Amino acid sequence: MAKHNKKSQKSPKTQTDHTLPKDIFAQFDITAPELPPAIADAAMRSGGFPYDEKLSRKIYKKELRSLQIELLKLATWVRDAQERLVIVFEGRDGSGKGGAITRFTQHLNPRSVRTVALPRPSNVEAQQWYFQRYINELPTAGEIVLFDRSWYNRAGVEEVMGFCAPNQTERFLHEAPIVEKLWTNDGIRLIKILLTIGPEMQMARLHARQHDPLKHWKLSPIDYAAIDHFDAYSRAFDRMIEHTSTAYAPWTIIRGNDKLRARLAIIRHVLTVTPYNDKDLEAIGEKDSGVILSAKRFLCKGGEPIANGDD
């Protein structure tokens, strides 16, 4: 089993993606009472995550409070300026989408901020244009809408699990940038976030859901199949980003092995790219380049810094 030396929480360093023997996947049993030590030990550093340990709770809480105060300014600006803001949260099962959304919306007025998590399409919706039911959920003036999964289901879970035909995925990858261009041309601000975690971290989180009665409801048949399809999801996400990350609606990738760092990185990113009033740059702080990646960095050498600094 590969082991890593302890490092300072403030010194991120990218490493190769996966050094454990492939048979570690055969060791995983979601129903077993205990997670195999090899998986538990490797979880934090899996997938090339650059930290050995979680961010301290004390630092997290202090920074989260400052960022949530800035979010209140952002929401006020959206309301007063009659802006329309859409934030898309995509990612692997267990990557932390729900927790990030909860901290984002925790202190915001639900009258002008809402979360959309659509179920499987009904028989009627299945016969409609694919984007139709998502268009119905777009924000009105003065509103923020967060999508907990989105139209990008077609390029992820639907493709990997065979819920759509290959030609439907191809059509989606062609149409999505066109549709999003129409939205942004009409004034909608669109922020797209993809949360990614390593294979051992996914195993650890799905195992925890299985054995925690307060989290067991999160598991679905799709979650149970996630581990076996880890590589297929990787290929699907790479292709999705390559085809649909544009200048007007770029993808931002968040390494989510540490939920605390991921939540802070997501809020920082949204605050940074949104021109709200009275922005406090000191409160927002600097981005963690070990956790937040542009589409180009993510697709280039597994997240290694790019020589020319183009991030």
Could you tell me the two tokens for 18? 């996966």
Residue 254 parent element (H or E): strand 251-255
10 Å CB burial of residue 41 (0-12, 13-18, 19+) is: middle
**Greatest pairwise CA separation for the chain in angstroms:** 56
Q: What is the pTM of this model?
A: 0.89
Q: What is the pLDDT of residue 211?
A: 84
Query: In this predicted structure, what is the pLDDT of residue 145?
Result: 98
Could you state, in order of their start, the residue ranges of all structural domains in the chain? 58-120+139-303
Q: What does the pLDDT look like over 28-72, one tens digit per residue? A: 878 788 899 999 999 999 999 999 999 999 999 999 999 999 999
Q: How big is the chain, counted in residues? A: 311
- CA triplet 261, 250, 302: central angle to 5 degrees? 60
Confidence band of 287 (pLDDT split at 50, 70, 90): very high
Residue given tokens 């956790």 in the structure block: 291
What pLDDT does residue 87 have? 98
C-alpha distances in Å from residue 147, one per residue of 64, 114, 267: 21, 9, 15
CATH 3.40.50.300 applies to domain 58-120+139-303: yes
